[in-house]
């Protein structure tokens, strides 16, 4: 079973990235390709130096979370991604790209929107289809993109011949949509300006404690105040989900104070081994670079025949 997923270097990685993607990725490493989507970070205003630094940081963190049996790569270093993206742009319809949430929310109608923000979902489809994966482990926010990928694969195969595997998205049972601690109706996102609501993987324990202790809950003080209810109690529901996803239990917890203490302990315990491994790996950047260089060579070997097959099928 081949598995593939990528992470965009647009900010420091968050607890959402860990629970929604990195941990599920670490559980599937037998024939796995995991990458850093640096080309996707160019779709909005960016700083070249920050992009490079975040790419290095995420590379180190991917190893620190235990992705040591997977093929790791930086997207821009595997040329077939952009090669296949163009072929798929000639498969995708503007109607379906107009419906993509990111473009609708961040770019439509704004003159200075980069053209790449519009075509981004097609590049993501190329990222996936190039490796013929059966599974794509991602958080819930990527559902629409994986659906488009499936549509493009089926359309291409039906029109030009069976080149691509149609992938399935897999999301974890808990943690597929971690919400901001300060506004539990919005996603915990790495590129947002939400210092209080986002837990980063490299936050020290006292920072985690402070952020969780200030998490938004509600004014319910009833005996059953600590219960999941996405509509009526989004903050409490989010904390409960984080607790479960980090391996903790809410059994016997009746107050928000006790819930926040349990969440803090569970999150600190989940981050501790990652932070230790990160510190070790960061002192040996040559090792991280060589793991990625070997992964990128493997990716070039694996993707070249798939791109060639797609080009041949479409008449190039």
Binding site for ligand TYM (CB under 6 A): 5-8, 16-17, 19-21, 37, 40, 124, 127-128, 136, 138-139, 141-142, 145, 175-178, 187-189
Q: Cβ 120 to ligand TYM, closest distance in Å?
A: 7
| Closer to ligand TYM by Cβ: residue 184 or 248 | 184
Tokens of 255: 């107050």
Structure token digits, residue 313: 């099928």
Nearer to ligand TYM, 5 or 60 (CB): 5
Dihedral over Cα of 163, 22, 123, 110: its sign = positive
Secondary structure E strands in the chain: 3-7, 32-36, 71-74, 135-137, 168-170
Q: Cβ closer to ligand TYM: 51 or 254? A: 51
Q: Provide the minimum distance between the beta carbon of 93 and ligand TYM in the complex, in angstroms, as a whole number.
A: 20
Q: Going edge to edge, which strands form the sheet with 71-74?
A: 71-74, 32-36, 3-7, 135-137, 168-170
Q: Of 19, 15, 2, which Cα lies nearest the Cα of 139? A: 19
Q: Residue 186 or 255: which CB sits closer to ligand TYM?
A: 186
Looking at the chain, how many residues does it have?
316
Q: Is 56 left (phi over 0), alpha (psi -120 to 50) or beta?
A: alpha
Active site residue 276: no
CA distance 187 to 207: 20
Annotated catalytic residue 106: yes
Q: How far is the CB of 107 from ligand TYM (least distance, A)?
A: 14
Options 8, 190, 233, 260, the catalytic residue: 190
Q: How far is the CB of 12 from ligand TYM (least distance, A)?
A: 11
Tokens (6 digits) for 41: 């970070």
According to DSSP, residue 141 is labeled G
The single residue of 187, 211, 233, 260 carrying the catalytic annotation is 187
Q: Closest CB to ligand TYM among 136 and 307?
A: 136
Whether residue 59 contacts residue 293, with contact meaning beta carbons closer than 8 Å, is answered with: no
Verify whether residue 187 is a known catalytic residue. yes
Taking the complex as a whole, how short is the minimal distance between the CB of residue 37 and ligand TYM, in angstroms?
4
- Residues belonging to the active site: 106, 187, 190
């Amino acid at each position: 079973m081949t598995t593939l997923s990528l992470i965009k270097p647009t900010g420091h990685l968050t607890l959402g990235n860990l629970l929604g993607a990195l941990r599920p990725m670490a559980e599937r490493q037998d024939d796995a390709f995991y990458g850093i989507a640096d080309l996707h970070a160019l779709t909005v205003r960016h700083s070249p130096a920050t992009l490079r630094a975040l790419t290095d940081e995420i590379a180190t963190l991917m190893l620190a979370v235990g992705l040591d049996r997977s093929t790791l790569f930086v997207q821009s270093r595997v040329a077939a991604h952009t090669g296949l993206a163009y072929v798929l742009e000639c498969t995708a319809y503007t109607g379906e790209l107009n419906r993509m949430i990111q473009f609708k929310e961040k770019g439509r109608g704004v003159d200075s929107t980069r053209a790449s923000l519009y075509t981004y979902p097609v590049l993501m489809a190329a990222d996936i289809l190039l490796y013929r994966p059966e599974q794509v482990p991602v958080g819930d926010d990527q559902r629409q993109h994986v659906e488009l990928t499936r549509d493009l694969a089926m359309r291409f195969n039906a029109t030009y011949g069976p080149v691509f595997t149609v992938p399935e998205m897999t999301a974890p049972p808990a943690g597929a949509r971690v919400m901001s601690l300060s506004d539990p109706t919005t996603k915990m996102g790495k590129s947002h300006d939400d210092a209080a609501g986002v837990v980063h993987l490299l936050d020290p324990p006292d920072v985690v404690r402070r952020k969780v202790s200030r998490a938004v809950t509600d004014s319910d003080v009833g005996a059953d105040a600590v219960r999941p209810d996405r509509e009526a109690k989004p903050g409490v529901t989010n904390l409960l989900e984080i607790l479960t996803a980090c391996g903790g239990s809410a059994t016997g917890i009746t107050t928000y104070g006790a819930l926040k203490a349990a969440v803090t302990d569970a999150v600190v315990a989940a981050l501790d081994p990652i932070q230790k491994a990160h510190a070790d790996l960061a002192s040996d950047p040559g090792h991280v670079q060589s793991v990625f260089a070997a992964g990128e060579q493997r990716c070039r070997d694996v993707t070249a025949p798939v791109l060639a097959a797609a080009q041949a099928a479409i008449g190039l």
